[in-house]
Amino acid sequence: MNPQFGTNAVAVTKRVYYTETTSTIYEGMPVCYEFDATTSMIGTIASGTKTMTIAEGSQCDGKYLRVEDLDADNIYTFAGVVKGTSYAGKLGGRWLDIYVPTGAIVPVRCDVDTTVGLTVLAITADSQELGFTATNSRPVAIAMETETGLDGTAGITLAKLDPNMFLYAASGTAALSVGTGSTFANQYVTSAITTQFLPFQIRSVLTGTGAGGLIGAKFTTGNAGTACVGDVYGLWSQASNLSDGAISGAGKLVGIWAKAHTATDSGTVDGDIFAAQLSIYNGIACGGDTAFIYFDEGTPIGETVDYLFVTYDSGPTKSCAYTADATCGADDKLGVIKVKIGGTDMYLNLYSDTAS
């Protein structure tokens, strides 16, 4: 029986053995390889006797011929989706054909509404459909049709099937290993563009209730080395003006920029607003100093840093934190920095370089 939809010319099929004897087969259903298989589909001869068992580490063909339903262990060995309707409604324990992920546009079984060219579809443990990314899942496709009737009701849609389009990441608890590791140098993008150049951007938008909060991007660095003699950085951001580079007086060279933004038409924010939050959790005795900020004047050619920090002096009201302004209320003071320590407003005294 033919598939419900045609496919493009680069679609590649493969015959595999579906091992799940109690699971119903659906067209477009995702399957994963039995990566830990020791059961052979073609057998091997050992001492004149044919055996269908090949021990782990001895290149068992079942690893690339046997497929199974998705679970938290095999989610990283995506094999493809079931081709056509010839096997639909039947139980497993049979040979069948799948579309392997090559970047082809193929029919997939999906249970979420989609927008063509924009919706990322993932495989998820214990699911027989593609859907949104969740715990123990991996993105493998981009929707190539706009669907409005699949939310909660699985059906067929077209998708570009290729997990290599996405950053490979573990969404469960398993961690990827790179062995002894290496330093990735000179992995960059150059551009001769004459307007603003932005080679990489991630935007996270929360549309639900947000009970658990929102983290746009998270970087975690953990040291498990027993003889580390270098610095350990959670995030290293550097802005450089390179040879032959020039920045006009209207521009700035900024190593890292943190901004908290509320639009003029945004909803109410009942909590605090911080441009940056610094935290130290030190569960052991520290042999060195501890501080929230360390200022390092790394200027090898004799230049000195002019200021510890510089505040802006523009805008309709400037800021109550460091300048006097009638709009700030009765607590504004000239020549001080306003801080809050232990819930109490306090002031650090300042004086100008012309003061006696």
pLDDT on residue 307: 80
What residues of the chain score a pLDDT lower than 70?
A: 1-9, 47, 167-200, 297-303, 312-335, 352-356
Fold of 12-165: Virus Head Decoration Protein; Chain: A, (2.40.300)
| Start-end of CATH 2.40.300 domains in the chain | 12-165
What is the C-alpha to C-alpha distance for residues 120 and 140, in angstroms, rounded to an integer? 8
pLDDT tens per residue, range 26-72: 999 999 999 999 999 888 777 677 788 888 888 899 999 999 999 99
pLDDT on residue 316: 44
pLDDT on residue 315: 44
pLDDT on residue 174: 56
What is the C-alpha to C-alpha distance for residues 280 and 258, in angstroms, rounded to an integer? 18
